[in-house]
Amino acid sequence: MNLGNQLLLFILIAISVNTPLFAEIYKYKDENGKWQFSDEPPTKKSAKIEIINTDSDSNGRGNINGSDIELNAQSEQPKNLAKSLEAAFTSSTKKTPVEKTTLAVVSIKNALGGGTGFFVSNDGYIVTNRHVVRPTTTAQWEKSNEKFLENLAEVDTQKRNIDRRQKELTAMSKQLEQYRKHLENSSEGTGGSRDTKSIGRSEYNIYKNRYKDLKKGLKKTIKIYEENKKIIEKQKSDFNFASTLSRTVRHFKIQLKDNSILHAELVSLSKQHDLALLKLSGHITPFIDINNAVTPPQGSKVYAIGSPLGLRDFVTYGIVTNVRKNQIVTDTQILPGNSGGPLIDTNGRIIGVNTLKLMADDSIGSAGFGVAIPISIVNAEFGEAISH
């Protein structure tokens, strides 16, 4: 793959860097003089503190794509999201258990993209994948980083080739100058025939024109190199910034089924499993009861709810193809963005948390098997925190 295609691939990955994600990001130097990024102000005084990536106004309201939204402020009376969402999506037609379950599913934005999560209590606890809130811990991130380093190396190779060609042209210019002086001396002297001198001048003009063409081609190459260098330097800055945020940020933008935007705080990360727990405070939320979980038999029908490929509130279905100790494997279509969403049965009962795609190779696509973490593991990891 050439540099242009590689850069395009990386640009697609890095587009989300330009999406406003947090109300305020603080940039400051610690006691060792190293720059730190955080969505919380430093506890100690710093010589210089910058507030960057602000997406809210003086009234505490956020702005996304020109539309004002309320940031979830603490209030004495919690807002009943369960009631408002149910009212917004209630019709005369009786809703299926799957449709009702979608009310508890949210989209989650991070510094490098996003994923899915779902409420597991009426007071705002959200379960998702660890890699949704810490994307730099994934194999996909490593591949993106490797691709970025390849782009850097290719730009360096271009520079070395330019330096080599410049040296060759410099040497060629000196040879042409020597040949020109030789021809002039031959013309002034009496030696050599007229035909020999004519042939010498013709050869000189051929080499001179070739030199001009090579110099013109090098000028175009340098222009392309300078453009690629600017792109890669901008990507490097954005990539490093997004990487730092993704490792430190503790507040995440979530989007509900009715498209409203709120902010949830990171509560806990599982060390052994691809799981994370967030909390939306000050709200009564619809939820999927993780105590009403099932382990479906092989061949039973299941549904995955999530935000695949940047879309929202999508449901796909399939069957359970295999049940393992720490995995439930299905042929349900799982795409980037489905991570962290619920896997449920036909009655809306929770089965597991969709987490990855099993592929025969490293290709990207819909072919393959989806893998979900059994909800029993979620209970073991976060049950105590959620019950308090």
Instruction: Name the domain count of the chain.
Output: 2
Which amino acid is located at 84 in the chain? Answer: S
- What residue numbers bound the domain in which 211 lies? 142-248
Six-digit token pair at 279?
A: 């909390």
Choose one of 222, 248, 274: the last residue of a domain: 248
Please check whether residue 196 lies inside any domain of the structure.
Answer: yes
Please check whether residue 168 lies inside any domain of the structure.
Answer: yes
| Residue 135 DSSP SS3 | helix
The residue count of the chain comes to: 388
Question: How many H helices and E strands in the chain?
Answer: 7, 19
**Residue 118 host element (H or E):** strand 113-119
Please check whether residue 373 lies inside any domain of the structure.
Answer: no
Q: Alpha-carbon distance 180 to 173, whole Å?
A: 10
pLDDT, average across residues 225-236: 85
Q: Alpha-carbon distance 157 to 150, whole Å?
A: 10
Q: What is the pLDDT of residue 166?
A: 93
Q: Alpha-carbon distance 345 to 186, whole Å?
A: 95
**Residue 142 host element (H or E):** helix 139-188
Q: What is the pLDDT of residue 67?
A: 32
Q: What is the pLDDT of residue 54?
A: 35
pLDDT at residue 53 greater than cutoff 60: no
pLDDT digits (tens, 9 = 90+) for 19-48: 334 444 555 666 666 555 555 556 665 555
Please check whether residue 221 lies inside any domain of the structure.
Answer: yes
Which amino acid is located at 307 in the chain? Answer: S
Choose one of 210, 229, 248: the last residue of a domain: 248
> Are 36 and 29 contacting, i.e. CB atoms less than 8 angstroms apart?
yes
Six-digit token pair at 237?
A: 């800055």
Per DSSP (E only), the strands in 210-256 are: 251-255
- Give the residue, 253 or 388, on which the prediction is more confident: 253
Q: What is the pLDDT of residue 217?
A: 93
Please check whether residue 203 lies inside any domain of the structure.
Answer: yes
DSSP string over 314-374? EEEEEEEEEE-SS-EEE-S---TT-TT-EEEETT--EEEEEEEEE-SSS--SS-SEEEEEE
Q: What is the pLDDT of residue 10?
A: 43
Please check whether residue 72 lies inside any domain of the structure.
Answer: no
Q: Alpha-carbon distance 39 to 23, whole Å?
A: 8
pLDDT digits (tens, 9 = 90+) for 55-87: 433 333 333 233 333 344 444 577 899 888 988
Compute and round to an integer the Cα radius of gyration of the chain.
30
Q: What is the pLDDT of residue 353?
A: 95
- Degrees to nearest 5, angle at CA 133 with 129 and 139: 70
Please check whether residue 186 lies inside any domain of the structure.
Answer: yes
Please check whether residue 191 lies inside any domain of the structure.
Answer: yes
pLDDT digits (tens, 9 = 90+) for 126-163: 999 998 988 776 666 666 777 778 888 888 899 999 99
Contacts of 211 (CB under 8 A, 6+ apart): 169, 172, 173, 176
pLDDT at residue 3 greater than cutoff 70: no
Q: Alpha-carbon distance 118 to 102, whole Å?
A: 9
Six-digit token pair at 22?
A: 């947090």
Name the burial class of residue 325, with classes exposed (0-12), middle (13-18) and buried (19+) by CB atoms within 10 angstroms of its CB: exposed
Q: What is the pLDDT of residue 167?
A: 93
Q: Alpha-carbon distance 274 to 341, whole Å?
A: 12
Which amino acid is located at 356 in the chain? Answer: L
Q: Alpha-carbon distance 359 to 364, whole Å?
A: 8
pLDDT digits (tens, 9 = 90+) for 182-197: 888 876 555 556 677 7
Q: How many CB atoms lie within 10 A of CB 294?
A: 15
* Residue whose structure tokens are 């792109």: 231
Choose one of 215, 233, 248: the last residue of a domain: 248
> Are 318 and 365 contacting, i.e. CB atoms less than 8 angstroms apart?
no
